[in-house]
Amino acid sequence: MKSKLKKMDILVTGVGGQGVVLASDIIGEAALTAGFDVKKTDTLGMAQRGGSVVSHVRLAERVWSPLIKEGEVDLLLAFEKLEAARWSHYLKKNAVAIINSYEQPPLSVSLGQEKYLTDDEIVAALKRRTDKIYIIEGNKKAQELGNVRTVNILMLGCLAAFAPLETGVWKSTISKRLPERLREINLKAFDVGRKEIEGVRIGKS
Amino acid sequence: MKKTLQLLSGNESLALGAYHAGVQVASAYPGTPSTEILENLSRFKDIYAEWSTNEKVAMEVGMGAAYTGARAMVSMKHVGLNVASDPFMAASITGIVGGLVVVTADDPQIHSSQNEQDNRHYARLAKVPMLEPTDSQDVYDLMGYAFDISEEFDTPVLVRTTTRIAHSKSVVDVKKSRKVKNPQPAFLFNKQKYVMLPVYALPRHAEVEKRMVRLAEYCETFPMNQIFWNKKKIGVVTSGVAYQYAREVFPEASFLKLGMTWPLPQQMIKGFAAQVERLIVVEELDPFLQDNIKSMGIEVSGKEFIPLVGELNTRIVTESSAGAGLLPESEKGEIIPPASGLARRPPLLCPGCPHTGIYFTLNTIGQRSKLLESDKPQEPKLIITGDIGCYTLGAYPPLNVLDTTACMGAGIGQALGMEKAGVKSKIVAVIGDSTFLHSGITGLVNAVYNEGHITILILDNRTTAMTGHQEHPGTGISAQGKETYAVDIESLCRGIGVKDIKVVNAFDLKALRSGLRDSLGREEVSVIIVRGACAMQVRKREHPRKVDVEKCNQCGICLKLGCPAIQSKDGRVFIEPTLCAGDICTICEQLCPQKAIGV
Ligand SMILES: Cc1ncc(C[n+]2csc(CCOP(=O)(O)OP(=O)(O)O)c2C)c(N)n1
Ligand code: SF4
Ligand code: SF4
């Protein structure tokens, strides 16, 4: 195992209530099981719903800083479109960006004080760094499964295609972290995510 | 993989470290980023863990326990130590018997606080040893030392974490298991030690000074003050999370990593400094290490290029070090700016929040939106002194209902001060239930005693919501989940002498409006208890409201509630069904002049 170890800096972002912290916890625990050194840190601001949330997850043979340096993110996993653009400057050149097409307009947008970026503007922000942009209809797919709240695990399924961790490790970690009654539907969501990522066109804009 | 490896947050690790070190009594008041320490400890049924009314009481509980020889721990956020500073200073002078560990969780960058004070100064002020971990493993290991040092030197020990330590997870080798040193605590009569009359206190001060001398000797060989030799061009002295950033930024430098940052190991630092070409300190916030090292007569730099404000990260340390000529400019890397034109997404009151209705009422009665229309200095028609909790978010538009927020409990005293100064406007103080019990009661007593005419709104959502929904004396459930006595806020106010007390349903707009109007007309202290459960604690979310597009004329008044479920796109107002709290709320339905909102 040791010889195969790579480094991976992952940024998970979304809006409070979408399960960003749980998703990044699962990445961290799966990576630990696979033999990596891991650090992860969340920035939530205050405890309420609705604010921007970002988690930094770092895996390598030895990790020092819990925060990823700007311009060093290998993979961005965004549960909301605008939040993807918000962290675009953290991406490394040619990083992977996996984005849930879901849109949650901030209050200032509803009040007409600010504008929500168009899809083209969001993609343009990311393209400053990378063409490897994958857009997933996460909320729709999770809804089809019967529970929108599985969207975070579905997105983890998408991430799994790029991470140096085996499927078994992902699944056992997900099972460990979720209560019995939610286990099955989330494991399904994970599989749906893995399939989805294969279906989307690379560099789609 | 060894079985003992776990991915733990600093707070989880701290709780586990304390548990394994044999802590018997733990007390705390919630405060980000320290809250999860007590939450984790409260799950162990073989220790006593409590949410105290405030940090001062928590400290006194810890002190009492330690006086009996039990191991005790008190945890709080940085500003909590301001509240607890009186008994903290007292614990320093009396000393303890059983280990007393005081945890202060500082918040550089003000992620969730009202300031970013550097509590390392408290260790120097109180003349107590201080330990600072650099990650979760350090936290775990340091807890064992903390209790031992406390007992060996007869002193409380300060453990200082920061948000980035408390809320980051890293790998911990959980090596120990729980050992309790003194299973049968006993308090032993000793006036000279515990009764701080002047005759006994002065000799105790002398003891404290002797203790500092012994500690200064001890820290020279403290195992968690460590040197990592590498190239000797640059030597870095550092502690806390700054160590991690510095290790990443200076892979070739030699390091002196301090696990104990008060007192400082003078000989060790001198020896290290003598061997390196240039000595720098990388630390967050104040130049605490730097100034103290300077005063040893050692040449050192740090805050000349490392910022004083905000938390550090590898980019900031890299850029400031490159600016100071310590790194080649090329190390900075290619940085691009954040994308432009992004709508902000600040935290908001939740859909169905019980604070929304009363805030909308304050906004309209006080004509608060007008305040934003002009830049000229103006006195609000209705002055609203605020306090700290979820309800502080009412300061943001569209509600715009707070004029002040200082520290917990301050709003009531401020309101009285403004009245006594003679302002013309009416004054309302707004305070949450947990905050009222923490430090609002004495302000209310003062307002009644001094014959104020202010209105006090106690927003009773039956929880300490802001910090993640902890129980408090008003909920009648203890930290360990036991049903206890629930303080009755209404009777409490009556006992203080408030004559006009109203209890109003937080989701009844009409009652809120008439209640507030009545109180504002009174020449006496008037209390309105606005009661409604925090939406995050209500599981039932039935019948999300809908906007009938036929009836809606897009007046936009419902958007002024600031409810995140009510959204508008291309001029069309709609309610996001997955966000709306439904039957428990209905505020927008009551408000809509067109009767366009319903099930
Ligand atoms: C001295 C001090 N201790 C703790 C905190 C952290 N803190 C901020 S608000 C708050 C309590 C909020 O509870 P409550 O007053 O009931 O209002 P709610 O959030 O429920 O609306 C706490 C514990 C602080 N800011 N200052
Ligand atoms: S957590 Fe509770 S009190 Fe805080 S904003 Fe949400 S509903 Fe309101
Ligand atoms: S009923 Fe109206 S105000 Fe209440 S949560 Fe639903 S949309 Fe928001």
Q: What is the CATH architecture of B356-536?
A: 3-Layer(aba) Sandwich (3.40)
Using only C-alpha atoms, what is the Rg of chain B? 27
For residues B581-587, average pLDDT: 97
Cβ of B80 closer than 6 Å to ligand 1, yes or no, is: yes
Cβ of B23 closer than 6 Å to ligand 3, yes or no, is: no
CB atoms within 10 A of CB A146: 10
Which residue from A35, A107, A125 is facing B339, i.e. has the nearest CB? Answer: A125
CB atoms within 10 A of CB B277: 9
Q: Is B168 on the interface with A (CB under 8 A)?
A: yes
Cβ neighbors of B203 (< 8 A, separation 6 or more) are B192
Q: What is the CATH architecture of B5-218?
A: 3-Layer(aba) Sandwich (3.40)
**Closest to B281 in 3D by CA, of B316, B305, B309, B259:** B305
**Closest to A70 in 3D by CA, of A60, A52, A56:** A56
Q: Is B345 on the interface with A (CB under 8 A)?
A: yes
**CB-based contact B506:B513 (threshold 8 Å):** no
Residue among B55, B112, B391, B435 whose CB has most ligand 1 atoms within 8 A, to mutate: B435
Cβ neighbors of A143 (< 8 A, separation 6 or more) are none
What average pLDDT is seen over chain B?
A: 97
Cβ distance of B336 and A89 shorter than 8 Å: yes
For residues B109-127, average pLDDT: 96
For the record, the structure tokens of A73 come out as: 């993110």
For the record, the structure tokens of B181 come out as: 């040193």
CA A106 to each of CA B398, B534, B563: distance values in angstroms, whole numbers, following the listed order: 13, 22, 11
CATH topology agreement for domains B356-536 and B546-598 = no
Confidence bin at B184 (pLDDT 50/70/90): very high
Cis peptide before B33 (omega within 30 of 0): yes
Chain A positions in Cβ-Cβ contact with residue B313 (cut-off 8 Å):
65, 67, 69
d(CA B525, CA B389): 23
Percent of chain A at pLDDT > 70 equals 93
**CB-based contact A80:A17 (threshold 8 Å):** no
Report pLDDT for A16: 87
pLDDT tens sequence across B377-429: 999 999 999 999 999 999 999 999 999 999 999 999 999 999 999 999 999 99
**CB-based contact B285:B108 (threshold 8 Å):** yes
Percent of chain A at pLDDT > 90 equals 82
By alpha-carbon position, which residue is closest to atom 6 of ligand 2?
B350
Helices (H) and strands (E) counted in chain B, each on its own, are: 21, 22
- Burial class, B63, CB count within 10 angstroms (exposed 0-12 / middle 13-18 / buried 19+): buried
CATH code, residues A2-198? 3.40.920.10
Ligand nearest to C-alpha B563: 3
Cβ distance of A47 and B467 shorter than 8 Å: yes
pLDDT tens sequence across B515-559: 999 999 999 999 999 999 999 999 888 999 999 999 999 999 999
Report pLDDT for B578: 85
d(CA A5, CA B179): 38
- Burial class, B10, CB count within 10 angstroms (exposed 0-12 / middle 13-18 / buried 19+): buried
Cis peptide before B183 (omega within 30 of 0): no
Report pLDDT for A139: 96
User: What angle do the packed helices A167-177 and A180-199 form, to 10 degrees?
Assistant: 140
For an interface test with A, which of B169, B284, B318, B391 has the most A Cβ atoms less than 10 Å from its Cβ?
B169
Helices (H) and strands (E) counted in chain A, each on its own, are: 8, 6
For residues A84-98, average pLDDT: 97
Say which residue the tokens 């989805």 belong to.
Answer: A196
d(CA A32, CA B3): 11
- Distance from the B486 Cα atom to the nearest Cα atom in chain A, whole angstroms: 25
pLDDT tens sequence across B30-74: 999 999 999 999 999 999 999 999 999 999 999 999 999 999 999
pLDDT tens sequence across A102-139: 999 888 898 888 999 999 999 999 999 999 999 999 99
Report pLDDT for A2: 43
Confidence bin at B565 (pLDDT 50/70/90): very high
Which residue from A65, A109, A111 is facing B313, i.e. has the nearest CB? Answer: A65
The chain A residue lying nearest B578, using CA atoms, is A148
Model-wide pTM > 0.95: yes
Residue among B388, B461, B462, B472 whose CB has most ligand 2 atoms within 8 A, to mutate: B461
What sign for the dihedral angle of Cα B327, B328, B331, B334?
positive
**Closest to A97 in 3D by CA, of A114, A109, A85:** A85
Indicate the class that CATH gives domain B225-332.
Answer: alpha beta
Which residue from A51, A64, A110 is facing B347, i.e. has the nearest CB? Answer: A51
3-state secondary structure of A137: coil
Cβ of B566 closer than 6 Å to ligand 3, yes or no, is: yes
Say which residue the tokens 């400057």 belong to.
Answer: A89
Using only C-alpha atoms, what is the Rg of chain A? 16
For the record, the structure tokens of B348 come out as: 């908001």
By alpha-carbon position, which residue is closest to atom 1 of ligand 3?
B586
Q: Which atom of ligand 1 is nearest to the CA of B388?
A: 9
Cβ neighbors of B54 (< 8 A, separation 6 or more) are B29, B83, B408, B437, B438, B439
Give the helix/strand (H/E) hosting B37: helix B35-41
Say which residue the tokens 């200076």 belong to.
Answer: B250
What sign for the dihedral angle of Cα B218, B221, B226, B230?
positive
DSSP H helices in A71-111:
81-86, 107-110
**Half-sphere exposure of residue B136: CA atoms within 13 angstroms, side-chain side:** 28
Report pLDDT for A3: 46
Cβ of B70 closer than 6 Å to ligand 1, yes or no, is: no
**Closest to A121 in 3D by CA, of A145, A88, A79:** A88
3-state secondary structure of A99: strand
Cβ of B440 closer than 6 Å to ligand 1, yes or no, is: no
C-alpha B583 – ligand 3 centre gap (Å): 9
Top-confidence residue, A17 or A126: A126
- What residues does each domain of chain B span? 5-218, 225-332, 356-536, 546-598
d(CA B240, CA B501): 49
Report pLDDT for B491: 98
- Distance from the B174 Cα atom to the nearest Cα atom in chain A, whole angstroms: 14
Cβ of B586 closer than 6 Å to ligand 3, yes or no, is: yes
C-alpha B353 – ligand 2 centre gap (Å): 5
C-alpha B388 – ligand 1 centre gap (Å): 5
- Report how far Cα B544 is from the mean position of its chain's Cα atoms: 34
Chain A positions in Cβ-Cβ contact with residue B465 (cut-off 8 Å):
47
Q: What are phi and psi of B189, to 5 degrees?
A: -50, 125
d(CA B162, CA B155): 22
Report pLDDT for A201: 56
Cis peptide before B337 (omega within 30 of 0): no
Report pLDDT for B454: 98
3-state secondary structure of A84: helix
Cβ of B390 closer than 6 Å to ligand 2, yes or no, is: yes
Which residue from B7, B111, B347 is facing A38, i.e. has the nearest CB? Answer: B7
**CB-based contact A148:A184 (threshold 8 Å):** no
CATH of B546-598, one of 3.30.565.10, 3.20.20.60, 3.30.70.20, 1.10.10.10: 3.30.70.20
**CB-based contact B128:B74 (threshold 8 Å):** no
DSSP state of B232: S
**β-bridge pairing A37-43 and B234-238:** unpaired
Report pLDDT for B540: 85
d(CA B293, CA B258): 13
**Closest to B435 in 3D by CA, of B501, B468, B390, B404:** B390
For an interface test with A, which of B345, B359, B369 has the most A Cβ atoms less than 10 Å from its Cβ?
B345
C-alpha B130 – ligand 3 centre gap (Å): 48
Which residue from B167, B171, B566 is facing A42, i.e. has the nearest CB? Answer: B167
By alpha-carbon position, which residue is closest to atom 15 of ligand 1?
B432
3-state secondary structure of B383: strand
**CB-based contact B171:B6 (threshold 8 Å):** yes
